[in-house]
């Protein structure tokens, strides 16, 4: 009896131990969540789902109503966010069906719940509501035009418009005008979100012409016009690509090329595409659009798809175009070096226009000089466009200075051009027939071709639609200082382009200067800020600059493939040459460059999403009706969604922040749940990793920023990157309203205001991980002030909003806008901030107040030459900036070799004078001194602290001959001092002080 009882107890103990060990070793159960269907623009249906862990590719089992079930495999493997597209020929649009998803995980099948859906495009169940949208078409050239093509994207509020057929276009007198309308995207309920409208417009030099989109109300649509296209024109155009080894490749319309046609009431378009005959790795496409006014707009593109990273191209040319005059040739070899040859006479130009006129034809190449090198020529046999013209002997000087080499000629390779794998080259040229060429003045026609029309709605309408989020139009008298400051810095950003040489066949649209020598690649989303500012203000310059940036990203920076797999990364971060360069970092010409980061020479893709910015591309693609920009943004964001969610890792807070912003924008613009599920993966990871007590993400210390023996214990956060994460969580919370995300946002705000903030400098720390390395106030929180105002609205606690306002009043810089990153960093949140402040009844701030800086007053025996009072300038163009504390204003952008400034001044008494300069520089800088036409030597300014952003960065230095002051012999009366940039480095100048010596 006792033995039996003991045996039973022993067995129970064994069972308990076994169960305990089994429970201890058991993995968390895996599951499939949020299965959803989504209608693609093609009419196909995508099934999307998320798994709790990374799983091998799954399968979708589809059961159409009344038909046999079928399976489709997932193409991508080892994902957390999954998707399968059901072809329309397998499941016809409008067909009810059910679907479930299955995976094999650890040798067992995991299945989802059953989902019921209807295949095909979304159908709005309601009816179109009455609407009237005013569109204005301004004349940018000042010269009226007739029957000119317009193509614009128009947003609609949710639930207003059911379909494009419910829209008609009328003029100011109410007469229906011919128009072509296309649904670009829809709201989740199926109503139209973006409508693309094309129509012929007339303009007036005295003011914008108004047109109106309104509901049809039973009005019949105008009869469709007769087809306009001439296919033989495209059949005659062919491309010739010549490699540096002499091989030639051709692109032409033939039996193997694909072509399609679209005929509407206002245009007739033919698109033909194929591969180069000799190399299937080169793809080409031509799209010709014929309009009733006699103009043919031809958009072309070539794309290289090859495993070989680069290939040296000698030249590429489109040939077979109609003749536009005999012996007519124009070229642009460098940014400011163009040539024109006509009737045997050659003329030097600064900027060639790419405009040929003759033989009842006009040929115009858009953005001709801006995309140098370029060429266009015509003779009796026809015309041609040199996309990459043959470079003349001696074109490239091996002794080219290092800055120019890095900025302008990184693409030079063996006498030709370095064409990279997966890079796109595109452009537009226009052919005008006799109806335009013979009836228009050449100057007027060039002005019209150079400045296309755009039909825009009012800022009030744009903002009311809700398409752009919580922003508001500019309101007179409301936060006017901030509005003016944003516009001023945008102007400085744009005006800096020519000084910074931001032109060239690979450069145009991007900005230069990240880390001094890298191209920006849209960092901090210049495109998005430009799009929002255009919507808020109605100013076309924002739209133009944002469009250039978006097109550059689409063609140069974006990594594309033509197979079924997606690349690990789709974006090249800021690099020399945008996507890397053949230049070698150990080139001796680069040794003297300050702050030079040799690591950026490599070609690497952003696999963590910390430098990928797609929000503006979605908006700009829709505003312009440019499907290529829009689809590229979709492709890039989907690649991030699939690949980054495998581990949801981030080594710095901004990687998760930009990922969230991109995914939420993609979801809001496409309605595709794949993007929302990807965002949810990262949002959950952020909540999991956030310290619940401090609110910090507790990131490990960067190895390059901590050499302490105990660095493994150094954990903290980077406030500037936390600001990016905070905005990403806010965008996500606006969609989901998840309580855990709300809590995380407030915790981040609290941490930034306490642990991440230095009250002594009123700046954010760069990092809080290592107190020895970088726990100092260095960062002005311009990119996160809107987030503090949002938390103030979210919690009802005014301290967060007051924190944002205090920093506006305390330190928003007057002179940012030097490069795109600085402009977007400091003003990227301004559209949201202005609206949030107005909602919280804040309509005025004390800053920025343009306080007049008092000029320094000379003492007896002194002469002060204010920098801004220079009498002559050669070799460049400086800018005058107000940077407290300076005397008056200071000279900036004095950064080109040979750029000289002169001051002419009156001396009351002849004698010997010492000379001192008050300056600021971020690198050693040399200036050659010339007095009354006589060179006095070159002086080096070694002490450098910065470009005068803070008082401590300004230095006063007396020029010396050894240890003694260098003395100038000045005559009584008028004298002249000239300073010449002798090194190519920048030096900002406040004033020159002359003191008479006894």
Q: Locate tokens 């003016």: which residue?
A: 484
- Cα separation, 756 vs 716, in Å, equals 9
CA dist 405 and 271 (Å) reads 38
Q: Are 892 and 815 in contact (CB under 8 A)?
A: yes
Position 514 scores a pLDDT of: 86
Please state, in angstroms and rounded to a whole number, the distance separating the CA atoms of residues 577 and 521: 10
Distance of CA 865 to the CA centre of its chain: 41
- How far is it, in rounded angstroms, from Cα 624 to Cα 153? 6
d(CA 377, CA 324): 9
CA distance 784 to 799: 15
* Both tokens assigned to 63: 């059961």
Phi-psi region of 553 (alpha: psi -120 to 50; beta: other; left: phi over 0): alpha
DSSP class of residue 504 equals: S
Q: Percent helix, strand, coil in the chain (nearest 5)?
A: 30, 30, 40
Closest by Cα among 662, 620, 616, 656 to 637: 662
DSSP structure string for 73-91? E-SS-SEEEEEEEEPTTTS
Please give the C-alpha separations between residue 929 and each of 599, 935, 936, in angstroms, as whole numbers. Answer: 37, 6, 5
Which residue positions in the chain have pLDDT lower than 70? 1-28, 218-225, 307, 560-570, 773-778, 780-781, 809-818, 846-854, 882-884
Phi, psi of 474 (to 5 degrees): -60, 130
**According to the model, what pLDDT value does residue 20 have?**
47
Which residue from 329, 437, 430 is spatially nearest to 377, judged by alpha carbons?
329
Supply the pLDDT for residue 588.
85
> What are 786-804's pLDDT values in tens digits?
999 999 999 999 999 999 9
Q: Do residues 158 and 192 touch, judged by C-beta distance below 8 A?
A: no
Kind of pairing, strands 70-73 and 310-321? unpaired
What is the spatial distance between Cα 518 and Cα 38, in angstroms, rounded to a whole number?
40
Start-to-end Cα distance in the chain: 123
Pick the closest to residue 667 from 742, 731, 741 (CA basis): 731
Which value, to the nearest 10 degrees, does the dihedral of the CA atoms of residues 411, 415, 417, 420 take? -80
**What's the CA gap between 201 and 211, in Å, rounded?**
9
Beta carbons within 8 Å of 242's beta carbon, 6+ residues apart: 248, 249, 313, 314, 315, 316, 390
Contacts (Cβ under 8 Å, ≥6 apart) of 536: 459, 462, 463, 471, 472, 473, 474, 831
Instruction: Using DSSP bridges, classify how beta strands 374-379 and 890-892 pair: parallel, antiparallel or unpaired.
Output: unpaired
Spatial contact of 631 and 42, defined as CB atoms under 8 Å apart: no
**pLDDT of amino acid 172:** 92
d(CA 44, CA 122): 11
Identify whether 373 is preceded by a cis peptide bond (ω within 30 of 0): yes
CA 839 to chain centre: 29
Element (H, E) at 623: helix 615-624
Query: What are 535's two structure tokens?
Result: 């919507």
- The Cα 528–Cα 615 span in angstroms is 6
824-857 per-position pLDDT tens digit:
988 999 999 999 999 999 988 765 444 445 678 8
Q: Which pair of structure tokens corresponds to residue 427? A: 């452009």
């Amino acid at each position: 009896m006792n033995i039996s009882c003991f045996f039973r107890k022993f067995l129970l103990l064994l069972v308990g131990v076994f169960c305990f060990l089994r429970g201890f070793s058991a993995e968390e159960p895996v599951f499939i969540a949020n299965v959803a269907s989504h209608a693609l623009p093609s009419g196909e249906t995508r099934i999307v789902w998320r798994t709790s862990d990374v799983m091998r590719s799954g399968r979708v089992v589809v059961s159409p109503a009344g038909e046999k079930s079928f399976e489709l495999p997932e193409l991508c493997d080892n994902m957390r966010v999954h998707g399968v597209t059901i072809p329309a020929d397998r499941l016809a649009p409008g067909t009810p069906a059910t679907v479930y998803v299955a995976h094999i995980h650890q040798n067992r099948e995991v299945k989802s719940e059953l989902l019921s859906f209807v295949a095909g495009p979304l159908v709005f169940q309601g009816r179109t509501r009455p609407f009237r949208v005013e569109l204005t078409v301004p004349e940018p050239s000042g010269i009226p035009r007739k029957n000119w093509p317009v193509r614009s994207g128009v947003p609609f509020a949710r639930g207003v418009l059911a379909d494009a057929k419910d829209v008609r276009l009328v003029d100011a007198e109410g007469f229906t005008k011919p128009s072509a309308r296309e649904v670009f995207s829809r709201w989740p309920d199926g109503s139209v979100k973006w409508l693309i409208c094309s129509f012929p417009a007339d303009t007036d030099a005295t003011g914008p012409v108004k047109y109106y989109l309104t509901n049809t109300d039973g009005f019949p649509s105008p009869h469709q016009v007769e087809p306009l296209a001439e296919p033989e024109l495209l059949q005659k155009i062919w491309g010739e690509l010549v490699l540096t080894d002499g091989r030639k490749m051709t692109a032409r319309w033939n039996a193997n090329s694909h072509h399609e046609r679209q005929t509407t009431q206002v245009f007739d378009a033919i698109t033909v595409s194929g591969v180069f005959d000799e190399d299937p790795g080169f793809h080409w496409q031509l799209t010709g659009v014929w309009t009733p006014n006699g103009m043919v707009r031809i958009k072309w593109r070539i794309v290289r798809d090859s495993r070989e990273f680069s290939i040296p191209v000698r030249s590429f040319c489109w040939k077979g175009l109609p003749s536009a005059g005999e012996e007519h040739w124009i070229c642009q070899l460098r940014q400011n070096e163009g040539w024109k040859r006509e009737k045997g006479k050659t003329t030097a130009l600064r900027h060639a226009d790419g405009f040929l006129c003759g033989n009842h034809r006009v040929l115009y190449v858009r953005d001709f000089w801006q995309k140098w090198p370029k060429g266009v020529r015509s003779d009796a046999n026809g015309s041609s466009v040199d996309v990459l013209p043959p470079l003349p002997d001696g074109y490239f000087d091996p002794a080219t200075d290092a800055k120019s080499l890095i900025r302008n000629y990184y693409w030079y390779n063996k006498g030709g051009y370095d064409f990279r794998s997966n890079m796109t080259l595109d452009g537009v040229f226009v052919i005008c027939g006799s109806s335009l060429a013979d009836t228009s003045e050449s100057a007027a026609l060039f002005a019209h071709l150079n400045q296309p029309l755009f039909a825009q709605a009012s800022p009030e309408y744009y903002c009311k639609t809700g398409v752009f989020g919580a922003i508001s139009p500019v309101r007179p008298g409301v936060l006017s200082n901030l509005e003016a400051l944003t516009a001023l810095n945008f102007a400085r950003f744009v005006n800096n382009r020519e000084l910074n040489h931001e032109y060239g066949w690979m450069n145009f649209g991007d900005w230069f200067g990240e880390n001094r020598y890298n191209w920006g690649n849209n960092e901090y989303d210049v495109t998005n800020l430009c799009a929002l500012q255009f919507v808020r203000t109605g100013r076309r310059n924002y739209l133009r600059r944002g469009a250039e940036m978006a097109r550059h990203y689409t063609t140069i920076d974006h990594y594309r493939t033509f197979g079924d797999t997606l690349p690990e990364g789709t974006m090249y971060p800021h690099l020399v040459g945008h996507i890397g360069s053949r230049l070698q970092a150990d080139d001796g010409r680069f040794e003297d460059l300050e702050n030079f980061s040799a690591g950026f020479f490599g070609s690497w893709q952003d696999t963590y999403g910390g430098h990928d910015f797609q929000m503006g591309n979605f908006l700009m693609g829709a505003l312009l009706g440019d499907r290529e920009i829009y689809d590229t943004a979709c492709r890039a964001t989907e690649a991030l969604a699939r690949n980054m969610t495998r581990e949801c890792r981030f080594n710095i807070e901004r990687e998760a922040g930009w990922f969230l912003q991109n995914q939420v924008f993609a979801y809001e613009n496409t309605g595709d749940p794949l993007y929302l599920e990807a965002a949810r993966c990262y949002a959950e990871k952020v909540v999991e990793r956030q310290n619940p007590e401090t609110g910090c993400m507790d990131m490990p210390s960067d190895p390059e920023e901590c050499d302490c023996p105990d660095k493994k214990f150094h954990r903290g956060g980077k406030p500037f990157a936390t600001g990016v994460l905070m905005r990403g969580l806010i965008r996500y919370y606006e969609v989901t309203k998840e309580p855990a995300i709300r809590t995380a946002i407030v915790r981040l705000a609290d941490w930034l205001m306490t642990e991440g903030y230095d009250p002594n400098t009123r700046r954010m720390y760069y990092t809080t991980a290592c107190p020895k390395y970088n726990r100092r106030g260095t960062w002005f929180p311009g990119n996160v002030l809107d987030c503090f105002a949002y938390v103030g609205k979210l919690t009802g606690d005014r301290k967060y909003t007051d924190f944002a306002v205090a920093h506006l009043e305390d330190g928003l810089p007057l002179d940012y806008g030097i490069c795109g990153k600085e402009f977007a960093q400091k003003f990227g949140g301004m559209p949201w901030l202005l609206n949030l402040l107005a909602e919280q009844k804040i309509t005025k701030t004390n800053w920025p107040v343009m306080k007049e800086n008092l000029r320094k007053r000379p003492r007896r025996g002194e002469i002060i030459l204010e920098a801004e009072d220079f009498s002559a300038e050669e070799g460049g163009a400086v800018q005058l900036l107000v940077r407290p504390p300076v005397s008056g204003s200071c000279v900036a952008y004095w950064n080109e070799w040979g750029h000289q400034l002169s001051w002419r001044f009156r001396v009351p008494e002849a004698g010997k004078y010492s000379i001192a300069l008050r300056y600021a520089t971020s690198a050693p800088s040399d200036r050659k001194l010339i007095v009354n036409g006589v060179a006095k030597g070159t002086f080096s300014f070694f002490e450098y602290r910065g470009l005068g952003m803070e008082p401590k960065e300004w230095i006063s230095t007396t020029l010396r001959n050894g240890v003694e002051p260098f003395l100038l012999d000045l005559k009584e009366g008028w004298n002249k001092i000239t300073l010449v940039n002798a090194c190519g480095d920048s030096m900002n100048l406040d004033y020159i002080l002359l003191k008479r010596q006894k």
